Amino acid sequence: MTHTRTFALVVVLLVALSVVAGPVSAHANLDSSTPANGAQVESVPEAVELSFTGDGIQSAEVAVIGPDDEDISGAVSVDGTDRQQVTVPIDTAGDASGMYVVEWEVLADDGHTTSGSFFFTVGDGPADREVILDTLEDGVEAGTSWAEAVANGLLLGAIVGLFGMAVAFKTAVMPVVAGRSHAGTGTLQRRAFRLCAALVGGLVAAVLAVGLVQLRLFGPLSAETAEGFLASSLGLVWSIQLLSAVGLLAAVLFSVRRAAGTDTRPRPPLKAIAVGTFVVAAGVAATSHSATAVDGLLGGGVGLLHILGAGLWAGGLLAVWVAVSGLDQQSSMASRIRIVGRIVRRYAVLAVAGVALLLSTGLFFASWHVGGAAGLRDTQYGLLLLGKLSGVAVGLAIGGYHHFVVLPRLEGRPSLLSRLRGDPAATDGGSPAGLDRFGRTLRLEIGVLAVVVLLSGIVTATAPAAVALDAGEDTSEQIETTFDDAAGIESHIELQPTAAAADDELRLQDGQPVVVDVRFERDGDPVSATDGLELRATALDGGTNMNFDVEQHDDRYSAVITLPETGAWELRLVGDPDGVFGSVSLDVTVGGDPQSEASNEASDDDGGHDHEHDHGAGDLSEDPLQVGGVLVGIYGLLAVGYQAQALTGRAEEGDGEEG
């Protein structure tokens, strides 16, 4: 019942932590700034302040480019109390009027960089169209860092293999083979040691590779960069991981030295491997998307359980493979079949626990990071996740085939298919060919799960779908409408940037300069206005009227507008394209989205800070994916209990083990 109680504790902890989960946001994204994006101020401010959502900031680079294209920024500082706040002083000696562009790049706690730019204007001069459009092109880097993906994939593979190998070899293999022939046990020990030694070497190499990738994020390779990296929280976690990996390597070498000069083979230090890989896995979880975006305890805990679950399932298979392929060929076929059956039944308890942890925690990850069906369908993160889920499904199918078909055939019991068809028990699996077939499908399952682990490494190096969707939100609105039906003239109007809205309204941000581009066509060919174009704006609530200058660039007419009042406005374009006089109007709303305002008010009521960014549900009862995660965990608890009870029952009744 030890397995059941342990797994029950995990489920209870998962439920308890879920209740206190807060809003979710991975990466560090610019939430607001002072001066604000597009703001018009009377004089150059003494400093620019940037507020980020999601992760804390490890390091930041900010450049403020003045009207004369000179960088006038000072030394950047990250607030020691609130590491989501970044400040950069400005040289105000010139105090020149014009547009100022702020270019920023930050490294967040999850080891990923985001970058972008915004602008503000000093004085009454007009905003520049090209500068505005340039700042709209920058944003979150939603792609994949392939160097990081490879390093993370190798690290996860070594962790999963070592942890599962150590646990399964200790609890599923050795209790079965202990006390049997010295030669057979020695062969298994030797094979297990070689595999563990290779994985430990891979672990050390992977930790070093991850450290190199993270170091490069802090700057060029130098002693100063290394000092800054090691002084950061990322560097601290990496240092602990490196010490653990090197400690495992020392334990392996000590086993070799202890066995030297004796007639015994070096044995894998299973306990040291389990503890060491647990520490390294905890470091991976502590710097994951979830730990830095949800909550250090909840996100890191769920991430750690996810990795350990993969270890129990995929890594445990390595121990089974070592045992099956290293069986003493001098033993009788009946004896080898009994050994395989007992090992697989013991491993089944670990595998069920691992799969349950994987699926349960995976549902939490989906809730936090996917961002709905669009996140799965339209983002690289979502497509990678679908590939990972497909691999898991294939692995489960092969595992089910082993458990319900192969194992009963080996033991001369009716398989599930035989019972469904009413066929007699098939015993042909008890031949050498049957064991060989089991070995081949076992290797196939290991190969499939190895691909899944490598895909997991790519997922960790990719911006979560919810972040990518935010970064890829359309910030422009294109309208095609008829200018003059009789003359066959169409107008094509584009506004940039626009604000996201819960309804179909055309919404602009309050105080944000907006680029308005207009083209006219007749029968698909561009036409020009004979006497130019006028752009008029009228506040429908207050009656404010404004006229904006419109400049012509070939067949495009452009204006930069800033509407000073919130509420409903009418934009009217008046001109004579191809000599046909007329006008076309647009209704726009200036101000925040009511849905966003309600969300912000709720956040304020809950005591959250004003730069929180919600990508997930904080209330367990309102999120079906999180509810599903808990239910899968409970089902897994019951399944583990059933498997453990069945194993205990077989042990009490005896299963025909050789004396």
Q: What is the CATH number of the domain that holds 69?
A: 2.60.40.1220
pLDDT category of residue 458 using cuts at 50, 70 and 90: confident
Tens of pLDDT, residue by residue over 13-31, are 544 443 344 334 446 678 8
Structure confidence at residue 296 (pLDDT): 63
| Residue 614 reports pLDDT greater than 50 | no
- What domain count does the chain have? 3
Structure confidence at residue 177 (pLDDT): 80
Structure confidence at residue 432 (pLDDT): 65
Look at residue 491 and tell me if it is in a domain: yes
pTM tops 0.85, yes or no: no
Tens of pLDDT, residue by residue over 43-85, are 889 999 999 876 678 888 899 998 888 899 989 998 878 888 9
Tens of pLDDT, residue by residue over 494-529, are 998 887 665 667 888 877 788 999 999 998 899 998
Structure confidence at residue 467 (pLDDT): 65
* Average pLDDT value for the chain: 79
Structure confidence at residue 444 (pLDDT): 92
| Residue 173 reports pLDDT greater than 70 | yes
Q: Which amino acid is at 100?
A: Y
Q: Which of 581, 597, 613 is the last residue of a domain?
A: 597
Residues 479 and 441 in one domain: no
Three-state SS for 169-215 is: HHHHHHHHHCCCCHHHHHHHHHHHHHHHHHHHHHHHHHHHHHHHHHH
Residues 89 and 45 in one domain: yes
Give strand ranges (E) for 93-141: 98-108, 113-122
Tens of pLDDT, residue by residue over 629-652, are 778 878 877 877 777 777 676 654
Residues 385 and 322 in one domain: yes
Helix (H, G, I), strand (E, B) or coil at 33: strand
pLDDT category of residue 553 using cuts at 50, 70 and 90: confident
pLDDT category of residue 624 using cuts at 50, 70 and 90: confident
**Beta partners for residue 104, in sequence order:** 62, 116
Residues 351 and 203 in one domain: yes
The span from the first CA to the last CA of the chain, in angstroms, equals: 26
558: tokens are 């452009």
Using alpha carbons, list the distances in angstroms from residue 488 to 484, 521, 573, 576, 578.
6, 8, 17, 13, 11
**Using CA atoms, how far apart are residues 560 and 173, in angstroms rounded to an integer?**
73
Q: Which long-range contacts (CB under 8 A, 24 or more apart) does 651-658 make?
A: 655/338, 655/341, 655/342, 656/338, 657/338, 657/342, 658/335, 658/338
CB 283 within 8 A of CB 236: no
| Residue 212 reports pLDDT greater than 90 | yes
**Percent over 90 (pLDDT), the chain:** 24
Residues 13 and 35 in one domain: no
What is the rounded average pLDDT of the residues 86-97? 82
Residues 637 and 583 in one domain: no
Look at residue 619 and tell me if it is in a domain: no
Structure confidence at residue 466 (pLDDT): 65
Look at residue 611 and tell me if it is in a domain: no
Which of 464, 463, 461, 449 has the alpha carbon at shortest distance from 149? 461
Tens of pLDDT, residue by residue over 233-280, are 888 999 999 999 999 999 999 988 887 766 677 888 999 999 999 999
Domain of 478, CATH number, reads 2.60.40.1930
Look at residue 620 and tell me if it is in a domain: no
The more confident residue out of 567 and 126 is 567
Look at residue 608 and tell me if it is in a domain: no
Structure confidence at residue 274 (pLDDT): 93
Residues 278 and 402 in one domain: yes
Structure confidence at residue 14 (pLDDT): 45
Structure confidence at residue 19 (pLDDT): 38
37-41, 211-215, 263-267 — which one is most confidently predicted on average? Answer: 211-215
Residues 182 and 80 in one domain: no
Look at residue 410 and tell me if it is in a domain: yes
Structure confidence at residue 604 (pLDDT): 44
Sort residue 101 into left (φ over 0), alpha (ψ -120 to 50) or beta: beta
Residues 279 and 394 in one domain: yes
Tens of pLDDT, residue by residue over 321-370, are 988 887 766 567 777 788 888 888 889 889 999 999 988 888 888 877 77
Which of 627, 629, 646 has the alpha carbon at shortest distance from 3? 646
**Using CA atoms, how far apart are residues 140 and 105, in angstroms rounded to an integer?**
10
Question: How many residues appear in the chain?
Answer: 659
Residues 183 and 299 in one domain: yes
Q: Which of 92, 113, 137 is the last residue of a domain?
A: 137
Q: Which of 137, 160, 179 is the last residue of a domain?
A: 137
Structure confidence at residue 465 (pLDDT): 66
Look at residue 610 and tell me if it is in a domain: no
Residue 334 belongs to domain spanning = 2-21+144-469+628-653
Residues 366 and 226 in one domain: yes
| Residue 208 reports pLDDT greater than 90 | yes
pLDDT category of residue 211 using cuts at 50, 70 and 90: very high
633: tokens are 């965990």
Residues 277 and 382 in one domain: yes
Look at residue 311 and tell me if it is in a domain: yes
